[in-house]
Amino acid sequence: MGLMQKGQAGSSLQSHAQAAEALLAWYDRERRTLAWRAPPGTKQDPYQVWLSEIMLQQTTVKAVTPRYATFLRRWPDLNSLARAELGEVLAAWAGLGYYARARNLHACARAVVGEHGGAFPETEAELRQLPGIGAYTAAAIAAIAFGEHATPVDGNIERVVARFFCVETPLPAAKAEIKTLAESLTPAMRAGDYAQAMMDLGATICTPRRPACGLCPLRPGCRACAEGLAEVLPYKAEKAERPTRRGAAFVAMRADGAVLLRERPMKGLLGGMLETPSTPWEETAPNGNAVADHAPVEAAWHKTAGLVAHTFTHFHLELSVYRAEVGDDAALTEAAQAERCKWLQRRELSGAALPSVMRKVLAHAFEAKRHLTSPRRGEVALQARVRGSKLQRG
């Protein structure tokens, strides 16, 4: 079915204007209470809309809510966030994942202060020029904070629109078509409320599985519901399998409780975050020599039992974990010195810019240490010494 035909098919049951009106009436009754949402009839703070929208990318409302409150307490406005150090922002972001968002958040705050006098530009086109603000976020801020006639399309809205118009082209090929159809539904007035109504409908009624069509204000015009396709749309093209990368992580612990960490390069995955020193992450697991070459301190390294697994957007990661107890005067290898390694006390770890995968690595190493009631029990008896000597069975 072509684009116009689908729009017209919907119109024959419930015009676009009627659908928008029904949706807004539903929103006025049923809207979710969210920490970043202004009460009905009051103006939204652009800073709060922007902050919440960046946090909500790839993350659930449940996960974002407490972190949003913490962020807002610490940096209540754009100027305070712009004055913060990047490391502080990354540390506060730890656990939310997709750390490029935190780097861009900080860069965007500085850009708005430096280039726009501290006030967000009000149009979708201008917002789009700022760091970390893509098509969806620009439209969401423009509509919700400034009332511009803009149409954000996130995963929830994509699903509602695909169903309402019965778009059978699989995603992601259908994205442009869905965006056009979504725009055709957006009313001239209350574009911000309308966008939030669509988000709420997708989150609470038109859910991925078992949509509650009987409660839906769009049901009179919904083609997928009429054709019995509500539960299966939108179709999705099969995704390529995620590859697996493997590596070894080194957890060096001093008697005073300090742990050796290094800063990742600013650009790329987990940029600017802290990690334990590691071998490169590659398709094949590192062999004994590779492990010995990358250990950051001269020490007896013990391989702990099991693996730490973590899934990123584009690959799975499996890390074997080596741990060593070292003296206070432990000398770093030349490579480790060049890699911006530093010692952090255990009590500082909770507030450090450590991504989830590295928290798993540290927990794994600490847990292995806790279980050591007899010499090396709970660990694979395998040792590595850096600088030339081979791995040994201990």
Interface with ligand SF4 by CB under 6 A: which residues?
A: 160, 163-164, 205-206, 211, 213, 216, 218-219, 222, 224-225, 230
Q: Which two tokens stand for residue 332?
A: 């770093």
Q: Which two tokens stand for residue 299?
A: 């020490």
Q: How far is CA 314 from CA 98, 239, 268, 271, in A?
A: 12, 11, 13, 16
Q: How far is CA 366 from CA 259, 304, 372, 383, 386, in A?
A: 11, 10, 10, 17, 22
CB atoms within 10 A of CB 112: 24
Nearer to ligand SF4, 139 or 229 (CB): 229
Nearer to ligand SF4, 178 or 206 (CB): 206
Closest CA to 279 of 252, 255, 241, 246: 246
Count the residues in the chain: 394
Cα separation, 194 vs 190, in Å, equals: 6
Strand ranges inside the chain, DSSP E: 244-254, 258-263, 274-275, 301-304, 308-311, 316-326, 341-345, 379-384, 392-393
Q: Which two tokens stand for residue 318?
A: 């499996």
Q: How far is the CB of 209 from ligand SF4 (least distance, A)?
A: 12
Q: How far is the CB of 204 from ligand SF4 (least distance, A)?
A: 10
C-beta contacts of 5-12 below 8 A and 24+ residues apart: 6/165, 6/166, 6/167, 6/181, 6/223, 7/165, 7/181, 7/184, 9/165, 9/166, 9/223, 10/164, 10/165, 10/221, 10/222, 10/223, 11/221
Q: How far is CA 316 from CA 101, 237, 251, in A?
A: 21, 20, 21
Phi and psi at 324, nearest 5°, equal -145, 140
Nearer to ligand SF4, 101 or 159 (CB): 159
Q: How far is the CB of 226 from ligand SF4 (least distance, A)?
A: 9
Q: Give the active site residue among 21, 30, 53, 126.
A: 53
Nearer to ligand SF4, 167 or 225 (CB): 225
Nearer to ligand SF4, 160 or 291 (CB): 160
Q: How far is the CB of 304 from ligand SF4 (least distance, A)?
A: 48
| Element at 33 (helix H, strand E) | none
CB within 8 A of 86, min separation 6: which ones?
A: 103, 106, 272
Supply angle C-alpha 30, 33, 37, rounded to 5. Answer: 115
Q: How far is the CB of 254 from ligand SF4 (least distance, A)?
A: 57
CB within 8 A of 132, min separation 6: which ones?
A: 54, 100, 101, 103, 104, 105, 107, 108
Q: How far is the CB of 160 from ligand SF4 (least distance, A)?
A: 5
Q: How far is the CB of 227 from ligand SF4 (least distance, A)?
A: 10
Q: How far is the CB of 97 from ligand SF4 (least distance, A)?
A: 29
Peptide bond connecting 355 to the previous residue in cis, omega within 30 degrees of 0: no
**DSSP conformational letter for 132:** T
88 is catalytic: no
Nearer to ligand SF4, 222 or 273 (CB): 222
Report the catalytic residues: 53
